[in-house]
């Protein structure tokens, strides 16, 4: 078998041209993606659980094109459509060679080179396989030495094909204050597209991730599911084309919509990464694979901790001054928070930011509100032994700003057309390196002048319209969508290289920007401006499919809630916010004494379990989409401790609930049950089980009756192995 199969062993570096019929295997601990070269054409013969014997794939595997091209007999959507310098619209890609190496333990990188026999046009497919998390990261580059530019019309990061009896696609859609809703559809013949054409706020309506279940419906614990996510902060496209032969082609990458790209001789066109994992144990395993990968490779400081914080946005909005902030800082510190985050409204001198109509772009302190500057606020925090964080929205500008007065040409715009405002602001043109430098310096200077700043919330409150650039030449205006994304990632990288230890929160008018291209440079993300705990359960459930809890900012806010008007108990709000990186977004002076006592205790309790939430494996148990009760839990990888959450969404008189079951424990070990966050004067929902020990198999097979009564009741339970 070894003679006929090309596989990577240890750190051996291999580089070869394959004789016909050789297999190229990209493997992780439990999965394999296998290619074969036939008549110089690269074919995908298998993707699924790792096989004991792969020789059979020489003859019995699938025969899908690995990376399809336009103009050579294809009748479906293609991965690459290039028009060559002489006008030829077709490309043929012949296999040239393959290289496999191990850049670090646990990772293998396979590079497959393909070339057009007629043109000096080369394509390289990269597959980075992460052993532990069963995840493959794929990207592609194009390069040529044709005399004139080659125009690219389609440029997928990846193509994957399947043959299955059915295809069910779960995708994620939303809007402001209602992000990340899951819906499942059966794919029938034809094309289903999930995409974004918004540029900056790319995940506002749809998210660049999907769960594809094969051969039947997936559940949390069963079914063949491929989880996929594109690591790109701008326009994206995920395309699913099912043919009449029950085959499915998946293409994923930057959205080619209005984006044809002239690639000059010698330049390299690199696509973003497409991430995917194959699970035979339902979408629960997909999530755990993505979380494990993200904590180690996909997220900034994914294995550290996160600050608990008080954010003043919903407490004050734009209406604050020094005494008001001082008292919030003191209250936050008194309650036990580790950081105070100053939100929008602190800047703008000539055009003070007292509302959303002015000041964006002018990153100097608003002296009317903060006469003693940021240094004074930082000192208030230091004196109270907490850290200081600050809000910025550096990609944007208000027409009422000194920046716009000086550089009207720096905004994205179409010549001779009126600007289209949204939230009374415009988007800076990040295809322009000079503008990239300005955006970088805006953030860098704030951090350089105030080295004690420990946290930055990076906001982005509008999408791109009028997609034109005064920087790009006339015949490259269609590059704006792609160059914006690339420019943004350059800025993120430069800022993070200069400020490696500051924590950054990714925010976009709620969860309008959330992708693994950005998260490499961020510690956290803001899932939604909707802080209503009931709705957050659904938003957090959706986000948890792909993103780990250590990155998810969850804030307790006022009741009635500012977005929905719903009244919920403080305990419920804390119990929901304790699923991620805990914060608070309310005026502490509005809380009564009992609430303050509870909050103080809850923050302490959270500190004692956050390590489980941040590093544990997530098991979703009862879905909020399916009933009145929902539950989920985190279990440390060594299964010594776990934390379980249960919520009652709506109560019905006469409704009898079954015992609630647990997951992920060691069956023959005993676990002590300790209920947390019991509200002063209330009884434990776990009743007599509180403080008792039970075996893992009892907890997982029988479960415990949890007395949740009334709308928005909840319980948090810690399990500790005896």
Catalytic center residues: 459, 529
Is 391 near ligand DGJ (CB under 6 A)? Answer: yes
- Cβ distance to ligand DGJ smaller for residue 275 or 328: 328
Residue from 343, 617, 675, 718 touching ligand DGJ (CB under 6 A): that is 343
* Interacting span for ligand DGJ (CB under 6 A) from 45-53, 292-300, 507-515, 604-612: 507-515
- Cβ distance to ligand DGJ smaller for residue 196 or 530: 530
* Smallest distance from ligand DGJ to CB 366, Å: 14
Cβ 454 vs Cβ 462: under 8 Å? no
Angle at 201 between CA 200 and CA 203, to 5 degrees: 130
Token pair in block for residue 440: 């970088």
Closest CA to 390 of 347, 437, 357: 347
- Cβ distance to ligand DGJ smaller for residue 270 or 316: 316
CB neighbour list of residue 93: distance below 8 Å, 6 or more residues apart: 41, 42, 67, 69, 80, 114, 115, 116, 123
**What one-character-per-residue DSSP string does 605-661 give?**
HHHHHHHHHHHSEEEEEE-TTTSSEEEEEEE-TTSSEEEEEEEESS--TT---PPBP
Name the DSSP class of 201: S
Is 126 near ligand DGJ (CB under 6 A)? Answer: no
Is 526 near ligand DGJ (CB under 6 A)? Answer: yes
- Cβ distance to ligand DGJ smaller for residue 469 or 531: 531
Is 712 near ligand DGJ (CB under 6 A)? Answer: no
- Cβ distance to ligand DGJ smaller for residue 114 or 456: 456
* Smallest distance from ligand DGJ to CB 201, Å: 11
HSE-up of residue 375 (Cα within 13 Å, Cβ side): 4
Token pair in block for residue 165: 């009896």
* Phi, psi for residue 584 in degrees, rounded to 5: -135, 140
Is 509 near ligand DGJ (CB under 6 A)? Answer: yes
Is 532 near ligand DGJ (CB under 6 A)? Answer: no
* Interacting span for ligand DGJ (CB under 6 A) from 192-200, 293-301, 481-489, 503-511: 503-511
CB neighbour list of residue 215: distance below 8 Å, 6 or more residues apart: 164, 165, 166, 223, 224
- Note if the bond before 560 is cis, omega within 30 degrees: yes
Is 619 near ligand DGJ (CB under 6 A)? Answer: no
Helix H or strand E encompassing 675: strand 670-676
* Smallest distance from ligand DGJ to CB 387, Å: 18
Is 583 near ligand DGJ (CB under 6 A)? Answer: no
CB neighbour list of residue 698: distance below 8 Å, 6 or more residues apart: none
* Smallest distance from ligand DGJ to CB 399, Å: 17
- Cβ distance to ligand DGJ smaller for residue 529 or 532: 529
| Paired strand residues for 386 | none
- Cβ distance to ligand DGJ smaller for residue 461 or 544: 461
Is 718 near ligand DGJ (CB under 6 A)? Answer: no
Name the DSSP class of 145: -
Q: Helix or strand or coil: residue 110?
A: strand
Residue from 529, 532, 617, 718 touching ligand DGJ (CB under 6 A): that is 529
Token pair in block for residue 94: 């012949």
* Interacting span for ligand DGJ (CB under 6 A) from 505-513, 533-541, 603-611, 694-702: 505-513
Is 507 near ligand DGJ (CB under 6 A)? Answer: yes
* Interacting span for ligand DGJ (CB under 6 A) from 226-234, 471-479, 506-514, 678-686: 506-514
* Smallest distance from ligand DGJ to CB 488, Å: 18
607: left (phi over 0), alpha (psi -120 to 50) or beta: alpha
Per-residue binder mask for ligand DGJ (CB under 6 A), 412-451, x = binder: ----------------------------------------
* Phi, psi for residue 591 in degrees, rounded to 5: -90, 145
Is 290 near ligand DGJ (CB under 6 A)? Answer: no
CA distances from 258 to 238, 254, 471, 476 (A): 16, 11, 18, 11
Total residues binding ligand DGJ (CB under 6 A): 11
- Cβ distance to ligand DGJ smaller for residue 461 or 630: 461
Q: In whole angstroms, what is the distance from residue 605 CA to residue 557 CA?
A: 18
HSE-up of residue 207 (Cα within 13 Å, Cβ side): 32
- Cβ distance to ligand DGJ smaller for residue 453 or 716: 453
* Smallest distance from ligand DGJ to CB 522, Å: 14
* Interacting span for ligand DGJ (CB under 6 A) from 16-24, 86-94, 328-336, 502-510: 502-510
* Smallest distance from ligand DGJ to CB 589, Å: 20
- The residue with its CB nearest to ligand DGJ is 344
* Smallest distance from ligand DGJ to CB 343, Å: 5
Residue from 137, 344, 362, 617 touching ligand DGJ (CB under 6 A): that is 344
* Smallest distance from ligand DGJ to CB 398, Å: 12
* Smallest distance from ligand DGJ to CB 173, Å: 19
Cβ 701 vs Cβ 682: under 8 Å? no
- Cβ distance to ligand DGJ smaller for residue 91 or 508: 508
Is 510 near ligand DGJ (CB under 6 A)? Answer: yes
* Smallest distance from ligand DGJ to CB 313, Å: 5
- Cβ distance to ligand DGJ smaller for residue 235 or 508: 508
- Cβ distance to ligand DGJ smaller for residue 137 or 343: 343
| Paired strand residues for 34 | 25, 46
Q: Using CB under 6 A, which residues numbered 450 to 479 contact ligand DGJ?
A: 459, 461
Residue from 127, 240, 293, 313 touching ligand DGJ (CB under 6 A): that is 313
Indicate the burial class of 273 (C-beta count within 10 angstroms; 0-12, 13-18, 19 or more).
buried
Q: What is the dihedral of CA 318, 323, 326, 330, to 10 degrees?
A: -120
Is 332 near ligand DGJ (CB under 6 A)? Answer: no
Helix H or strand E encompassing 326: helix 322-335
Is 524 near ligand DGJ (CB under 6 A)? Answer: no
Indicate the burial class of 680 (C-beta count within 10 angstroms; 0-12, 13-18, 19 or more).
exposed
Q: Please report where in the chains the tokens 């994205």 appear, as a residue.
A: 412
Token pair in block for residue 433: 């390196």
Closest CA to 627 of 644, 650, 645: 650
Residues engaged in binding ligand DGJ (CB under 6 A)? 313, 343-344, 391, 459, 461, 507, 509-510, 526, 529
């Amino acid at each position: 078998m070894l003679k006929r199969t090309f596989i990577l062993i240890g750190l051996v570096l291999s580089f070869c041209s394959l004789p016909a019929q050789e297999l190229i295997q990209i493997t992780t601990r439990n999965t394999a993606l296998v290619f074969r070269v036939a008549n110089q054409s690269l074919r995908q013969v298998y993707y699924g659980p790792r096989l004991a014997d792969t020789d059979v794939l020489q003859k019995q595997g699938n025969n899908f094109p690995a990376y399809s091209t336009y103009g050579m007999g294809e009748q479906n959507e293609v991965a690459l459509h290039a028009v060559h310098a002489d006008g030829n619209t077709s490309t043929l890609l012949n296999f040239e060679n393959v290289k496999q190496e191990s850049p670090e333990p646990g990772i293998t990188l396979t590079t497959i080179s393909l070339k057009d026999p007629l043109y000096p046009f080369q394509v390289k497919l990269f597959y980075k396989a992460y052993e532990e998390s069963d995840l493959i990261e794929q990207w592609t580059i194009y390069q040529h030495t044709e005399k004139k530019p080659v125009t690219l019309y389609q440029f997928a990061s990846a193509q994957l094909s399947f043959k299955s009896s059915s295809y069910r696609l779960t995708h994620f859609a939303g809007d402001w204050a209602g992000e990340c809703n899951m819906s499942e559809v059966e794919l029938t013949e034809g094309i289903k597209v999930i995409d974004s054409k918004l540029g900056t706020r790319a995940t506002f309506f749809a998210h660049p991730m999907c769960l594809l279940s094969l051969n039947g419906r997936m559940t949390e614990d069963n079914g063949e599911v491929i989880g996929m996510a594109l690591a790109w902060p701008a326009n994206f496209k995920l395309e699913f084309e099912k043919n009449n032969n029950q085959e499915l082609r998946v293409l994923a990458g930057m959205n080619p919509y209005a984006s044809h790209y002239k690639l000059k001789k010698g330049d390299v066109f690199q696509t973003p990464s497409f991430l995917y994992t194959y699970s035979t144990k339902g979408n629960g395993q997909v999530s755990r694979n993505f979380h494990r990968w993200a904590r180690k490779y996909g997220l900034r400081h994914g294995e550290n901790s996160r600050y608990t914080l008080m954010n003043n946005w919903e407490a004050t909005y734009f209406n604050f001054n020094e005494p008001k902030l001082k008292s919030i800082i003191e209250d936050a510190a008194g309650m036990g928070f580790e950081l105070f985050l100053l939100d929008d409204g602190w800047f703008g001198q000539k055009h003070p930011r007292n509302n959303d109509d002015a000041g964006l772009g002018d990153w100097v302190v608003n002296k009317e509100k903060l006469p003693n500057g940021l240094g004074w606020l930082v000192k208030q925090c230091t004196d109270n032994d907490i850290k200081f964080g600050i809000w910025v929205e550096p990609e944007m500008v208000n027409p009422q700003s000194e920046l716009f007065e000086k550089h009207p040409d720096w905004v994205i715009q179409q010549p001779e057309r009126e600007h289209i405002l949204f939230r009374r602001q415009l988007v800076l043109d990040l295809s322009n390196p000079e503008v990239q430098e300005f955006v970088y310096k805006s953030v860098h200077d704030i951090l350089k002048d105030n080295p004690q700043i420990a946290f930055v919330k990076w906001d982005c409150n509008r999408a791109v319209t009028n997609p034109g650039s005064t920087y790009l030449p006339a015949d490259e205006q269609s590059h704006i969508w792609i160059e914006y994304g690339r420019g943004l990632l350059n800025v993120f990288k430069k800022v993070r290289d200069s400020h490696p230890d500051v924590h950054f929160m990714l925010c976009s008018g709620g969860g309008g920007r959330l992708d693994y291209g950005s998260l490499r440079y961020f510690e956290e993300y803001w899932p939604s401006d909707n802080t209503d705990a009931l709705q957050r359960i659904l938003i957090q459930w959706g986000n948890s499919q792909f993103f780990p809890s250590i990155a998810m900012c969850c804030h307790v806010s006022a009741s009635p809630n500012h977005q929905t008007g719903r009244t919920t108990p403080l305990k419920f709000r804390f119990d929901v916010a304790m699923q991620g990186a805990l914060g608070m977004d309310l005026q502490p002076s509005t809380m009564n004494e009992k609430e303050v006592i509870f909050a103080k205790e809850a923050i302490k309790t959270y500190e004692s379990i956050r390590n489980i939430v941040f590093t544990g494996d997530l098991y979703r148990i009862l879905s909020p989409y399916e009933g009145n009760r929902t539950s989920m839990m985190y279990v440390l990888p060594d299964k010594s401790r776990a934390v379980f959450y249960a919520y009652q969404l709506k109560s019905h008189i006469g409704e009898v609930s079954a015992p609630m079951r647990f997951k992920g424990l060691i069956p023959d070990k005993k676990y002590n049950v300790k209920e947390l966050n019991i509200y002063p004067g209330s009884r434990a929902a776990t009743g007599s089980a509180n403080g008792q020990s039970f075996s893992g198999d009892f907890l997982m097979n029988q479960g415990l009756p949890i007395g949740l009564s009334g709308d928005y009741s909840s319980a948090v339970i810690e399990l500790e192995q005896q």
